[in-house]
Amino acid sequence: MFALIDGNNFYCSCERAYRPELRQQPIIVLSNNDGCVISRSNEAKDMGIKMGVPYFQIQHLVQQGKLTVFSSNYELYADLSRRMMSTIASLVPAIEIYSIDECFADLQGLSNLHQIGHNIRNRIQQWVGIPTCVGIAPTRTLAKFCNHLAKRHRHHFNGVVVWTDWSHNIQQRALASEPVTEIWGIGRRIGQKLATQGIHTALDFINAHTPTLRKQFGVVLERTQREMQGIPCSELIIEEANRQNIVRSRSFGRMVTSLEGLQAAISHHITAGAAKLREQHSQAHIIGVFIYTNRFRHDLPQYNGYQFIKLPQASADTITLNRIAQNLLRRIYRPGYEYKKCGIELGGIEPTHHFQQLDLLCPSQHNHRPELMAAWDNITNHYGRSSIQLGSELQSNHWLMTRAQLSPCYTTQITDLAVITS
């Protein structure tokens, strides 16, 4: 048996966790640079606010006092996600973190699953302050479907649906009530193709001719059908697989026209990428740098630059990778353009070896400093990422995101701790 636990309107719920006066108020959270809506409370959904709508189209509701808005506070969301996942792990044998607000849990060997689902919900609400829904079923795809039912009919089911608690007739009614696109892995495009075959609901999909499905859509969709039929085709992935390619990029809060501004952003991304390499005990053979202008500004000249290099010796050293990245940036930089985005890519990733073949023509004494990097990671893990920064990252802050409605980092910054007054 599997459980899928999902935080309801997660970003909005994180904002409400430390602002209880907003619990019944419509609120939204915006994307990078306060561009568009990426999270809505149920009250905001009831107002008709759609996911992805540009902020300027609904800004008047904020000015009228009908809506509360927040910029994305990823530091807060990541920390509350970590707390939520560790809370779930305290109640089940094993978990697989699927996204920042979702995880699968292994319930094998446990009894009274309905009560376990409520115990998970109650503990997360009490310990973290995040409302959740829980779907429990014999397969991961069915658990995801049950979670959708629990969320859609949260008042009726009180946030928990256990597939095996229902009779066959109720299961058939539940499947017939939902479109096929509500099945995990079936998007709008595949849903349209299935509709031409007369498959409109989840029940139609389960009853479809399996060999025909496989012939027309492949083995992946066949596995999805079998999972919806209660036949497990996948297991929990307890350990996260190491990344084979790392990309770090971000759009700027305002246009950057100077090389110094791009250098600061590239140093920031390199620092994050190198830290990820060391976290998964790996190193990169390839490094690339790219810069973009704003393709939506047709009134401005356009330019996209990209260049990569294969390193003579793989590295996870922040200083070495930054030096190479800055050289690549200088090669592709063109003055006279207004840049909107830049980033780095690390490829050819392999595990770090204790014994490494050195390059005869490449001095390596400054390319591999494990003691220095270990000290760097220890300090940043304890005091925060910004406790150590490359000097080039401090050359400019023009590249930083626009977050005019940013909330405090209640759980990670000592200066942002909530103050309780009598």
Q: Write out pLDDT tens, residues 129-162.
A: 999 999 999 999 999 999 999 999 888 899 999 9
Q: Which residue, 373, 247, 265, is CA-closest to 315?
A: 373
The structure's pTM equals 0.79
Q: Which residue, 107, 162, 159, 95, is CA-closest to 130?
A: 159
Quick: pLDDT tens for 61-100: 999 999 999 999 988 999 999 999 999 999 999 999 989 9
Mean model confidence pLDDT for the chain: 89
Residue 48 confidence (pLDDT): 92
Q: Average the pLDDT over 114-128 and give the result.
A: 95
Residue 88 confidence (pLDDT): 95
CA dist., res. 213 & res. 139, Å (int): 20
CA dist., res. 366 & res. 322, Å (int): 13
Matching residue, tokens 């193709």: 193
Q: Which residue, 223, 46, 8, 214, is CA-closest to 128?
A: 8
What's the DSSP call for residue 58?
T
Quick: pLDDT tens for 159-209: 999 999 999 999 999 999 999 999 998 989 999 999 998 999 999 999 999
CA distances from 215 to 184, 204, 211, 306 (A): 20, 17, 6, 40
Confidence of residue 387 (pLDDT cuts 50, 70, 90): confident
Confidence of residue 363 (pLDDT cuts 50, 70, 90): low
* Residues facing residue 341 across a β-bridge: 251, 292
Residue 357 confidence (pLDDT): 63
The Cβ of residue 173 has, within 10 Å, a number of other Cβ atoms equal to 12
Q: Average the pLDDT over 42-67 and give the result.
A: 92
Residue 267 confidence (pLDDT): 94
Do 7 and 131 meet the contact criterion of CB atoms below 8 Å apart?
yes
Quick: pLDDT tens for 24-38: 899 999 998 888 999
Confidence of residue 358 (pLDDT cuts 50, 70, 90): low
Confidence of residue 223 (pLDDT cuts 50, 70, 90): very high
How far from chain centre, in Å, is Cα 132? 17
Residue 41 confidence (pLDDT): 93
Confidence of residue 354 (pLDDT cuts 50, 70, 90): low
Beta-carbon contacts of 410 under 8 Å, excluding residues fewer than 6 positions away, are 17, 18, 76, 416, 417, 418
CA dist., res. 9 & res. 91, Å (int): 23
Q: Which amino acid is at 376?
A: W
Residue 383 pLDDT > 60: yes
Do 21 and 35 meet the contact criterion of CB atoms below 8 Å apart?
no
